[in-house]
Amino acid sequence: MDELPLKLKDQNDVVTHVINILHRLGLLTSHHDSFDSTVVDSVRAFQQSRGLVVSGVVDATTLNALEEARWKLGDRSLYLQPSPMMHGDDVATLQSRLTEMGFNCGRVDGVFGPRLEDAVRDFQKSVGVAIDGKCGPATITALMRLSRTVSGGAPSILRESAIQKNRGPALANKVIVLDPSFGGLDQGNCGNDVVESEVVFDIAQRLEGRLLALGVSVFLTRGANNSPSESQRLILANETNADLVISLHLDKYHNDKAHGVATYFYGSLAHGIHSVVGERFASIVQREICARTDLSNCRTHAKTWDLLRLTKAPTVRIDLGYVSNNGDAQRLSRPDFRDVVAESVVIAIQRLYLASEDDAKTGTLRIADLRKAGIRK
């Protein structure tokens, strides 16, 4: 869309649409006819509530999130349609309600896919309304009359934890997708002679070699010279039936004092859900990297980015430092440092699958220990 990102004082149809949605969400109460500073502040508040980057900038990601947020359950009939599938907060609410009543919708991601259609059919059959897989007025009325029937924790969280536990501690036969950001002509963030696409691909290759040696099936979302779109990366990750997806990035900031490593997992305050396995792995890998390197700890964060939300497998994004910071850039340019990062991630993957009684103190395990213990088999 040519109008994006919106600029201060812009006046166009997109600005009007954004302002109308912000009014609907209660984030704006007064009249505005341009993208002024008050609207920017409201956008920041929206981004904060949705787990997006809080910038005040309306780009394609924020506009898509605004579009999803404007729908409430009951505003429209929901059903499975060819690409693009229906998506929005109303779909997420439907998923949450059905999940609370014990119907398996998969992850609450706000997308009306085949699994949700099956869950709607099962619900309709159980309450005696017409079975068509569509969430129309009769189905919504039935939903609102019933209360949750599952207790002991969020069903989607329990289900995700059970799947991970049932896969066992061995890394052999696990499927892991590595997603080095950007690629090809799109170099990503650059600074201090460090190019994001080159560094993360190099680290991904180091990871790939170590994981293959431990019996893991590894898929990379790109090669050295191509740059697939985010949707193409999502398709690959989902088609492999991965156990885990790891996206590798570098960051950049206008203040060169910003530095350190951060990890991100899927979580939405708006819908009260998160990926429990993603959160656990994000925490483990964050601690392993910080224990084995001198990168500053920028902690773990829940986000609703599409790569985290729309992947079937638990997905974690690792931002391995700032190219705009001279210290981080110098570290990232060293092959030995990249080796340490790769080993940190491999150990974190193994720790994710170990039972608590078999786990080790952060920063103490080595890949050689895994081989000696026979954990690879």
54-58, 147-151, 161-165, 200-204: which is most confident: 200-204
The better pLDDT of the pair 57, 165 is held by: 57
151 pLDDT tier (thresholds 50, 70, 90): very low
161-373 folds as Aminopeptidase (3.40.630)
Query: From the CA atom positions of the chain, what is the Rg in Å?
Result: 22
Taking only the tens place, the pLDDT of each residue in 2-60 is 789 999 999 999 999 999 999 999 999 999 999 999 999 999 999 999 989 899 999 99
* Lookup: tokens for 137: 């007025």
Check whether 311 has a pLDDT greater than 60: yes
Check whether 350 has a pLDDT greater than 70: yes
CA distance 318 to 301: 10
CATH classification (class only), 89-151: mainly alpha
In this predicted structure, what is the pLDDT of residue 37?
95
Considering the chain, what is the average pLDDT of its residues? 91
The number of C-alpha atoms within 13 Å of 10 and in the hemisphere containing its C-beta is 20
163 pLDDT tier (thresholds 50, 70, 90): confident
Decide: 171 and 353 in contact? Cβ < 8 Å: yes
| In the chain, domain spans | 13-69, 89-151, 161-373
In this predicted structure, what is the pLDDT of residue 371?
59
- 3-state class percentages of the chain: helix first, strand second, coil last, to nearest 5: 45, 15, 40
CA distance 47 to 43: 6
* Lookup: tokens for 281: 């792995």
Beta strands in 24-166 (DSSP E): none
In this predicted structure, what is the pLDDT of residue 55?
92
Q: Identify the weakest region by mean pLDDT among 32-36, 149-153, 155-159, 232-236.
A: 149-153
In this predicted structure, what is the pLDDT of residue 224?
93
- The burial class, CB within 10 Å (0-12 / 13-18 / 19+), for 284 is buried
In this predicted structure, what is the pLDDT of residue 372?
54
Q: Identify the weakest region by mean pLDDT among 119-133, 137-151, 263-277, 351-365.
A: 351-365
The better pLDDT of the pair 354, 68 is held by: 68
* Lookup: tokens for 239: 């088609």
Same fold, 89-151 and 161-373: no
Pairing of strands 315-322, 244-251: parallel
pTM of the predicted structure, to 2 decimals: 0.86
In this predicted structure, what is the pLDDT of residue 146?
81
203 pLDDT tier (thresholds 50, 70, 90): very high
Taking only the tens place, the pLDDT of each residue in 68-124 is 999 999 999 999 998 899 999 999 999 989 988 889 898 899 999 999 999 999 999
